[in-house]
Structure 1
Amino acid sequence: MKKVVVAMSGGIDSSFSALLLKQQGCKVIGATFLFFDQIDSSVERAKKVAKSLSIPHITIDLREEFKTMVIDPFIQGYKNGITPNPCAICNKSIKFGLAMDIAMEETKADLYATGHYAKISTYKGNYLLALPKNQKKDQTYFLALIEKERLPRLIFPMGDVAEKEMAKKALEAFGLNLWAKQKESQDVCFFKGLDLKTYLSKYLPRLEGNIIYQGRVVGKHEGYYFYTIGQRKGLQVRMGKPLYVAGISPQENRIYLEDKGKVFSDKVVLSQVNFHLPFELWEAPLAQVRYRSERVELSKIERQKEKLVVELKKKVFAPTSGQVCAFYEKEYLLGGGTIAISS
């Protein structure tokens, strides 16, 4: 009997994952991680689910580590003029890094499960992540940076679930009706309901500067770090047409705007490159430079020491420094890297 520790957030996906694994005959242990001072009842819900399923449950406090490894780099990234991807950073460093290690060590588990919408599969003789059955919920993009060596010890029960409503109904049939009033959040978890500018304003001071379009000042901003490449809303610039953030200069404390057509790019340079499938086995990779953006064919891909230079067959909207570029072949995730430069 396989022993599986399930990262239980108190949500439907991880709760149903625990239920599925128990029904499949696994010895299941629930683990809930404290990443920040949660304002909701997620921990209590996770405990209730574990009790209802008659599985052991532990709570692991990683608030200090989460701040050091996720929140602080997130804030520093904006201060540096880039747009970090906190979910990808967290998955690499915490959820499938430190948290996984601690949970598996404490429980002596064979496998580690989460409620992510992804699959574990094999391709060309390698363990790889693959697209889930419910591709509308696909989360593989955010998993592109996790270490290849961890893949054989992962399991994603939600990968074979066609609809989330099925999971909710199955939990209700089991006597668990804990999510009737809970809305599904699309926000960064540690924002606690705040928007980006309000959150960053707690750590970064107001810093008025100029907004530039075609070489002239067309407005003022309260801090370059409140903006991201491709942003259109919230610019408070009236030019009779939509304009988009095309450049951010921390040194000048300036935001540069352009028409939409000039925010597209067909080349990116990646750092922190992570290969799930060895690079020499790639045949026809597609690149995805934003969550939910289309996957695009490549005209060229070249390794240059620790970096990867990627040229796309078509221009894509606003590739952004700090975001992830993930690579796919068929339904398989090949790996990814952090966008350092786009042009």
Structure 2
Amino acid sequence: MRVLAALSGGVDSAVAAARAVDAGHEVVGVHMALSRDRAQMRTGSRGCCSIEDAGDARRAADVLGIPYYVWDLSERFEDTVVADFLAEYEAGRTPNPCVRCNEHIKFDALLDKALALGFDAVCTGHYARATTGADGTPELRRAADLAKDQSYVLAVMGPERLARAVFPLGDVASKDEVRAEAAARGLSVSAKPDSYDICFVADGDTRGFLRDRLGSRPGEVVDADGTVLGTHDGAYGYTIGQRKGLQLGRPAADGRPRYVLAIEPVANRVVVGGAADLTVGEVDAADAVWFGAPLADWTSCALQVRAHGATVPVRARATAAGGMEIRVDGTLSGVAAGQSAVLYGGDDGSRVLGQATVDRTRRPAATGASA
């Protein structure tokens, strides 16, 4: 099989490519240049796609003895992932750029180009398992190392794209195993720090990035009754459930912490309140992607709404409008529109049933309010 290995410059993608070579595939390495400023270097372990990373990817390809190329996808990345990130925050929603990168870049632009060039699949260093169901359909499952599992951010790809994906690290026991293997293979990235946070916000200052792109937009921070408690520099810089950085001028009447309950982009207001007001009883999500037949009837399963977050028991079903309707049976709070909702099920609970984007939430029936 001809396999295009996406080499980020990190240890995971390098070992994944090495395992693809060991499996007998014809492997070609490619580094995706996603930043328009290619001179930008990483800050500690933050960021990716810098010249440093491209060099690390090239050295890994040399050790593995595979061809290596750099593909400039920066314009596509800016027009899809970054543009979506800005538009969603400006609309008072909370996007996940890793989900959008997998949707628009790794398993769309990259995969489409690979297929056009005659490759059979794309290989990445993601921690997830691609299996085949009893009926022959592709299944996405959690990685063996649950602490590193990335099935949540991959669920948006859907079964057709999954059939063209190879995840050699899905069965490894731990990241330590990957680093040890890299060292044994003579890969210089064996001890390279993991990248984290948002790759195109290399310094980790998301609010500063948004302010630079969207400008200063001063407004009010209010409680549920509309009483002004403070001011902000832009409602886009907040997310549901946020506690830190509110800079309120007066304490709550009950002395308890306050959290962001709602973001009103038109009025440019941020509404805060108590933790109890963040509880979620129902979730409506749009643009569902299903692995297998959509859930026609209410089905018990598990819901995850954050990368590496815990799951909660829910009942879910598909909607006629192409989304999901979810009723929470466990405890869930602080869910924002724009987040990815992923359903898990199967005998061991590791199989992805479907994914959709949170559109709105409702509080439990006992409290009755909507969010």
TM-score (normalised: structure 2): 0.88
Contact kept in structure 1, 2:88 and 2:94, CA below 8 Å: yes
Instruction: Name the residue aligned to 1:23.
Output: 22
- CA 1:251–1:57 in structure 2 vs 1: closer, same or farther (change >3 Å)? same
1:220-241 per-residue CA deviation (whole Å, 9 max, x = no partner) reads 1111000000100111125142
Tell me what 1:259 maps to. Answer: 274
Question: How many Å separate the matches in 1 of 2:322 and 2:264?
Answer: 25
Pick from 215, 231, 247: which aligns with 2:262?
247
C-alpha contact (below 8 Å) 2:301/2:316 kept by paired residues: no
Give the 3-state SS of the residue equivalent to 1:144 in structure 2. Answer: helix
Counterparts in 2 of 1:31-50, with a 5 A limit? 31-36=30-35, 37-38=37-38, 39-40=40-41, 41-50=52-61
- Is 1:301–1:311's contact at 8 Å kept on the other side of the alignment? no
Q: Which residue of 2 aligns with 1:305?
A: 321
Deviation of 1:104 (Å): 3.4
CA distance in 1, matches of 2:22, 2:133: 28
Gaps of 5+ in 1: none
User: Residue type of the partner of 1:259?
Assistant: G
Q: How many residues align?
A: 340
Q: Which residue of 2 aligns with 1:341?
A: 360
1:304-333 Cα offsets, whole Å, 9 max, x none, are 322322111134011110010001112101
Q: In the alignment, is the contact (CA less than 8 A) between 1:187 and 1:193 conserved in 2?
A: no
Match of 1:191 in 2: 201
Deviates more, 1:203-212 or 1:123-132: 123-132
1:37-88 residue CA offsets vs partner (Å, 9 max, x unmatched): 3423011111111011101111111111110011011101111111111111
| CA separation of 1:170 and 1:206: change in aligned 2, threshold 3 A | same
**Whole-angstrom CA distance in 1 between matches of 2:344 and 2:230:** 41
Q: Is the 8 A contact 1:275 1:335 kept in 2?
A: yes
- 2 CA distance for matches of 1:253 and 1:149? 41
Contact 1:31 1:103 in 2 (8 A): no
Partner of 1:219: 230
Deviations along 1:255-305, one digit per CA (max 9) or x if unpaired, are 000101111101111111111121148853211122233222224535132
Q: Residue 183 of structure 2 contacts residue 190 of structure 2 at CA under 8 Å; is this kept in 1?
A: no
- 1:178 alignment counterpart: 189
Q: Of 301, 306, 320, which residue of structure 1 is paired with 2:336?
A: 320
Q: Which residue of 1 aligns with 2:101?
A: 90
Whether contact under 8 Å (2:60, 2:188) holds in the other structure is no
Q: Secondary structure at the match of 2:196?
A: coil
Give aligned-pair identity as a percent: 32
Equivalent of residue 289 in structure 1, options 293, 305, 310: 305
SS at match of 1:94: helix
- Retained in 2: the 8 A contact 1:34–1:60? yes
Structure 2 SS opposite 1:314: coil
Distance in 2 (CA, whole Å) between partners of 1:332 and 1:255 is 37
Q: 1:159 aligns with which of 170, 173, 180?
A: 170
Q: How does 1:106-185 map to 2 (within 5 A)?
A: 106=117, 108-125=118-135, 126-180=137-191, 182-185=192-195
Match of 1:11 in 2: 10
Provide the residue aligned with 1:73 in structure 2. 84
Residue matched to 2:46: none
* 2:218 is equivalent to residue 208 of structure 1: yes
| Alpha-carbon distance in 1 for matches of 2:215, 2:61 | 43
Q: Structure 1: which 4+ aligned runs deviate by more than 6 Å?
A: none
- 1:276 pairs, out of 284, 287, 291, with 291
Tell me: CA distance 1:293–1:167, structure 2 relative to 1, closer, same or farther (3 Å). closer
Q: Which secondary structure does the structure 2 equivalent of 1:160 belong to?
A: coil
Structure 1 residues 264, 85: closer, same or farther in 2, change over 3 A?
Answer: same
TM score, norm. by length of structure 1:
0.94
Distance change (3 Å), C-alpha of 1:8 and 1:261:
same
**Structure (1 or 2) with the greater strand fraction:** 1
Is the 2:31–2:54 Cα contact (8 Å) retained in structure 1? yes
How far the C-alpha of 1:3 sits from its partner, in A, is: 1.7
CA distance in 2, matches of 1:168, 1:293: 24
- Deviations 1:122-171, CA, capped at 9 Å, x for gaps: 23522111011111001011112113211111110010111112222222
1:185 Cα offset (Å): 2.3
- Map 1:51-70 to 2 at 5 A: 51-70=62-81
Aligned CA distance change for structure 1 residues 223 and 280 (closer, same or farther; 3 Å): closer
Is the contact made by 1:28 and 1:55 (CA closer than 8 Å) also made in structure 2? Answer: yes
Give the distance between the partners of 1:174 and 1:292, measured in 2 at CA: 29
Distance 2:306 2:134 in 1: 26
> CA contact under 8 A between 2:305 and 2:335: conserved in structure 1?
yes
Q: RMSD across aligned C-alpha pairs, in angstroms? A: 1.6
